[in-house]
Structure 1
Amino acid sequence: MRLSRRALMGASLAAPFAAPASAQARYPERPVVLVAPFGAGGASDVAARTLAAHADRHLGQAIVVENRTGASGMIGSLHVRRAAPDGYTLLMARIASSAIVPAIDPAAQYAWDEFTFLGMVDINPYVFVVRDDAPWRTLAELVDEIRRRPGALNHGSSGPSTILNLGVRYLLLQAGLAPDATVEVPFRGGGEVATALLGGQVQIVGQNLSEAAGAIAGGRVRALAVTTPRRFPSIPDVPTVREAGFPALEAIVGWDALAGPPGLPGAVTRKWDEVLAALAKDEGWTAATRRVGSVPWITDGAAAKAYVGEQVQLYRDLGRRLGIVGAEIAIWQQRTAVSGNGKR
């Protein structure tokens, strides 16, 4: 009986893994869906499509980008969290949906560390921009205007728990102003926010350089400051936030990482280790990433998980300081659900 029980236990443990092992060895056998949790034209969408356009030849299969938007990126992230752990549904993990939301929203339906992190992809410098015909030439002039007329200017946001909102709120905090000294106007993603700035619906936008680079280069918007420690090569005339008198804002930076559902098998993670290592040497992807205003930054999964964990702690602390709470997030979600388009 002892022998038979051991044999039975061995069989029961081995059986679930035997069939998937052969299947995993052939991964991928079909196209991989890469979910971008924000709308077209936003930083996560740009990063996802840039990766898909170059990583497919290293993967050996097509990568199809699918935008699943809403709730500060939670809808798309939750979709991947619930997906089968087979490597065919992955997430372009974004700072808002994968660090800020889990850090400050008690209603979030996932924890940041439930996902399988495959690696970092890029870092996005963060810029404060206004329309080119705006009267403010410096960040200090803009802050003075807000101080003179609190509540008179709108800032574009893709949700209260996103970097677009928190960056502006942190600027107000550093300037000694109330968190509502500018009025948040929410949209579904950074692309819509950029359009709203050009259309005059908002007067201030803090956003990833990858979302604003084209408008800056085209002279349609003016960048007042960038959060990098040194001036960024593609916008050398734009001062850093340290030069502008707000060094604490260097903490605000965007990023993208590649992640999957919990429990991705080793064959899948090893394949993506190979793909990302090849992508890091891919001059086409590197040039394309830099062209949209991002900095290539490929890491392995362990380094990505460690970095995201640090970001979660940063925004947990920042959320407490700014008074961003779950109730405010719930109100925003109700408002955008009623409007149907993320605008108010």
Structure 2
Amino acid sequence: MLHSKLKVAAKPILLSALAVSACLAATVSWAKSDYPSHAITLITPYSTGGDSDLAARNFSAVAQKYLGQPVVVVNKPGASGVIGSDQGRLANPDGYTLLLSRPGSQAILPAISPTKTKYKWSDFTPIGLLELNPYGCYVRGDSPYKNFKDLEKALHAKGAKMNYGTAGALTTNDMGPKLLFDTLKLGDKVPTQIPYKGTGEATSALLAGQIDFSCSSIGPANGLIKAGNLRALFVTTPERLKSLPDVPTSKELGLAKMEQITGWSGISGPPGMPAEIVAKLWKAMEETGKDAAWIRATENAGSVPFIKGPTDAKTFTQGQYEVYHELGKSLGLIDQVK
């Protein structure tokens, strides 16, 4: 009798538990379908004024039209992009905290400094790619180095007494010069790297005469180059840039290997993001990529629109990781950079 009563009593409890479970499932489903219901934070892992910052702000200004909510850019610079990237990785996978992906933080660091980097290249949810950033090296407008040959002669003569600015170790700003020095076979005449928190700060230091040259995505320096404040010595694109037709390509100068170095931006999220949210974000990215205002802002920043979805973004990032891993091995850099 007691056993029978327990069975009868258990039925309401079971039904109640099932009802709660169904209610929770419905709430989660509703939350996903309602996404986004408030502002989205977009972390950029470098300081203001650089190509990552420009990419994030150009995206946020237009994407909110297609998401129906503000996209708030938050700069989290430090440790060559690791600090901001790791915050993006550890965020709640609800789609309200995203990361502006960059080659330094998402491919180079995991490839060359795996034991010191807190994450792997694959520890993020890829949402899409935004743009490519033509890369090059430049000096101050009044520099005695009128062209690359002038700089090359100086490097061979007194390279160890020279310096260059970067956005930190193991960024494209750093890897480009490392590959350049190896190609030029400078030996013990390698210049000293002066690391900053972002490309903008490195460019400011160059303008102030604190460093001899810098290499980075050309976009943020484009206006300064056209105004004569900076002088571009070469770009790593296969063809000369339409915006800088007088600047030779690295291949023209016999530096074809430098074409491996290029900048790019994408959007990613923490691991475990629901597929429905990823799809909504990608749809907004896709619409943003067709928007004339975004295209104009991206091109004005010296970048090339390169809208690709989650699958292509994952394949591209893996390819970049493999390029820099091989480059790191050839230069003897794997886990050697402090």
User: Larger C-alpha radius of gyration, 1 or 2?
Assistant: 2
Q: Deviations over 1:30-56 (max 9, x none)?
A: 000000000000111110001011111
User: Counterpart of 1:113 in 2: which secondary structure?
Assistant: coil
CA contact 1:125–1:253 (8 Å) conserved in 2: yes
Partner in structure 1 of residue 296 of structure 2: 287
Offset, 1:285: 0.3
Partner in structure 2 of residue 340 of structure 1: none
Q: Residues of 2 paired with 1:96 and 1:157: CA distance?
A: 11
Partner in structure 1 of residue 89 of structure 2: 81
TM-score by length of 2: 0.92
Name which of 193, 202, 207 aligns with 2:211. 202
1:131 pairs with 2:163: no
CA contact 1:27–1:267 (8 Å) conserved in 2: no
User: Counterpart of 1:176 in 2: which secondary structure?
Assistant: coil
Partner in structure 2 of residue 233 of structure 1: 242
Partner in structure 2 of residue 182 of structure 1: 191
CA contact 2:52–2:265 (8 Å) conserved in 1: yes
TM-score by length of 1: 0.90
Partner in structure 2 of residue 250 of structure 1: 259
Q: Residues of 2 paired with 1:184 and 1:277: CA distance?
A: 38
Structure 1 residue runs of 5 or longer lacking an equivalent are 330-344
User: Counterpart of 1:320 in 2: which secondary structure?
Assistant: helix
**Coordinate RMSD, CA, aligned:** 2.1
Distance 1:257 1:76, change over 3 A: same
AA matched with 2:179: Y
Moved more, 262-271 or 186-195: 262-271
Q: Residues of 2 paired with 1:76 and 1:179: CA distance?
A: 34
AA matched with 1:90: L
Name which of 268, 286, 293 aligns with 1:277. 286
CA contact 2:289–2:307 (8 Å) conserved in 1: yes
Offset, 1:324: 2.4
Offset, 1:19: 2.7
Structure 2 residue runs of 5 or longer lacking an equivalent are 1-6
1:100 pairs with 2:105: no
Offset, 1:21: 1.2
Name which of 146, 166, 176 aligns with 1:157. 166
Q: Residues of 2 paired with 1:124 and 1:67: CA distance?
A: 19
Offset, 1:180: 5.9
CA contact 1:179–1:322 (8 Å) conserved in 2: no
Partner in structure 1 of residue 42 of structure 2: 34
1:60 pairs with 2:68: yes
User: Counterpart of 1:264 in 2: which secondary structure?
Assistant: coil
Distance 1:17 1:142, change over 3 A: farther
Q: Deviations over 1:53-76 (max 9, x none)?
A: 111101111000000110110000
Offset, 1:267: 2.1
Q: Residues of 2 paired with 1:71 and 1:12: CA distance?
A: 46
1:72 pairs with 2:80: yes
CA contact 2:156–2:189 (8 Å) conserved in 1: no
Alignment: residue pair count: 325
